[in-house]
């Protein structure tokens, strides 16, 4: 079964950092592009970042550029999102999703930025 | 960035109704559009990709159409499990962009 499982969310103060992980199983992770998408409480979906299968191509939403870093470890079947200089508006459930079809999605991990 | 709009933003319907949701892109995106269903507290689920291709395992009452800038998701006969929020997504180029969503609830 193809599965994505996020972890690493939690409560962090403004200006703080957090690292999210997404563990993949049931497919050849190294062959697939990956994305991070977030959803603020009661709001719609917002794409955050993309990484190619090899990690050589990366894109970010303007809202996180310069603060967030996407990476992957194909040997560990894992995707990461390093989030620095966090702001209240970064509060959201963060999902990882596979390739350009965004299928499947993980269950999400909640990041709360608050003092 | 390509802007995506959806209409309506919400609708009330009854079981058995035919439901149509529209998504419009601010520029042509060929058929690079997907539709997703999200239920409260759950992750989104892919229903339709490439504008009109039904994802494996998705009931055939869901269908998609359109190309260029105008797209439609149709549910031919609404079932109780279909009450949810539906999003379109353009994957024509990055940054990919989602529509604002259409909430379908019970009349």
pLDDT tens over chain A, length 115 residues? 999 999 999 999 999 999 999 999 999 999 999 999 999 999 999 999 999 999 999 999 999 999 999 999 999 999 999 999 999 999 999 999 999 899 999 999 999 999 9
Instruction: Give the residue-averaged pLDDT of B8-31.
Output: 97
pLDDT at B86: 98
CB contact under 8 A, A44 and B34: no
B54 pLDDT above the threshold of 90: yes
Instruction: Give the residue-averaged pLDDT of B79-87.
Output: 96
> What phi-psi label fits residue B76: left (phi over 0), alpha (psi between -120 and 50 degrees) or beta?
alpha
Question: Would you say B62 and B48 are in contact if contact means Cβ atoms under 8 Å apart?
Answer: yes
B88 pLDDT above the threshold of 90: yes
Mean pLDDT of chain B: 97
A108: helix, strand or coil:
coil
Question: Would you say B106 and B83 are in contact if contact means Cβ atoms under 8 Å apart?
Answer: yes
A17: helix, strand or coil:
coil
User: Which has the closest alpha carbon to A105: A19, A31, A39, A9?
Assistant: A39
CB contact under 8 A, B43 and A108: yes
pLDDT at B107: 87
CA distance, residue A13 to nearest chain B CA (Å): 24
CA distance, residue B100 to nearest chain A CA (Å): 6
pLDDT classification of B106: cutoffs 50, 70, 90? confident
CA distance, residue B97 to nearest chain A CA (Å): 7
Provide the 8-state DSSP code for B96: P
Dihedral, A66, A68, A69, A70 alpha carbons, nearest 10 = -130
CB contact under 8 A, A101 and B95: no
Instruction: Give the residue-averaged pLDDT of B37-65.
Output: 98
Question: Would you say A48 and A64 are in contact if contact means Cβ atoms under 8 Å apart?
Answer: yes
**H/E stretch holding B10:** strand B10-13
Residue scoring higher pLDDT (B106 or B41) = B41
pLDDT classification of B83: cutoffs 50, 70, 90? very high
DSSP β-bridge partners for residue B71: B23, B66
CB contact under 8 A, B97 and A95: no
Interface of A with B (CB under 8 A): 35, 44-47, 50, 59, 61-62, 95, 100-108
């Amino acid at each position: 079964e193809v599965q994505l499982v996020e972890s690493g969310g939690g409560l962090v103060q403004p200006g703080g950092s957090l690292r999210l992980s997404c563990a993949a199983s049931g497919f050849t992770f190294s062959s697939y592009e990956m994305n991070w998408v977030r959803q603020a409480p009661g709001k719609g979906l917002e794409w955050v970042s993309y990484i190619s299968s090899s990690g050589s191509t990366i894109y970010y939403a303007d809202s996180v550029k310069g603060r967030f870093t996407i990476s992957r470890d194909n040997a560990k079947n894992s995707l990461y999102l390093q989030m620095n200089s966090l702001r209240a508006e970064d509060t959201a459930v963060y999902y990882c999703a596979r390739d350009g079809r965004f299928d499947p999605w993980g269950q999400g991990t909640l990041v709360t930025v608050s003092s | 960035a390509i802007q995506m709009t959806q209409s309506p933003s919400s609708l009330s319907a009854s079981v058995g109704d035919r439901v149509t949701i529209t998504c419009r892109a601010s520029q042509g995106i060929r058929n690079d559009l997907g539709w997703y269903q999200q239920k409260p507290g759950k992750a989104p689920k892919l229903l339709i990709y490439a504008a009109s291709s039904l994802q494996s395992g998705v009931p055939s009452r869901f269908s998609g159409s359109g190309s260029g800038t105008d797209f439609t998701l149709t549910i031919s006969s609404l079932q109780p499990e279909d009450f949810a929020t539906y999003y379109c997504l353009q994957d024509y180029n990055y940054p990919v962009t989602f529509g604002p969503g259409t909430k379908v609830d019970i009349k």
